[in-house]
Amino acid sequence: MSEQKAQLYDQLVRQHTAITNAISRVPELSIEEQSRLVDINDKYNPDNQRKVQELRNQLVQVEQKLKSLF
């Protein structure tokens, strides 16, 4: 792996970790709130769900860039 690829790889891995950590910091609904929802898979209020989805989209992009390095 060239030096540039190695640096890009490290940068992308750090970015992936930062995004993953950001997702884990988004507040989830309480168990009581989740139990009242029709969709049992909803863990976030609508605003936070949008934030999480945007972050997950960013993760997919980072993962695709990582895969393209190899």
Q: What is the pLDDT of residues 2-50, one digit of tens each?
A: 889 899 999 999 999 999 999 999 999 888 888 887 766 788 999 999 9
Q: Looking at the 3D structure of the chain, how many domains does it have? A: 1
Q: Which domain holds residue 43?
A: 3-68
Is 57 a residue whose pLDDT tops 90? yes
Distance (Å, whole) CA 36 – CA 32:
7
pLDDT attached to residue 1: 58
47 or 70: which leads in pLDDT: 47
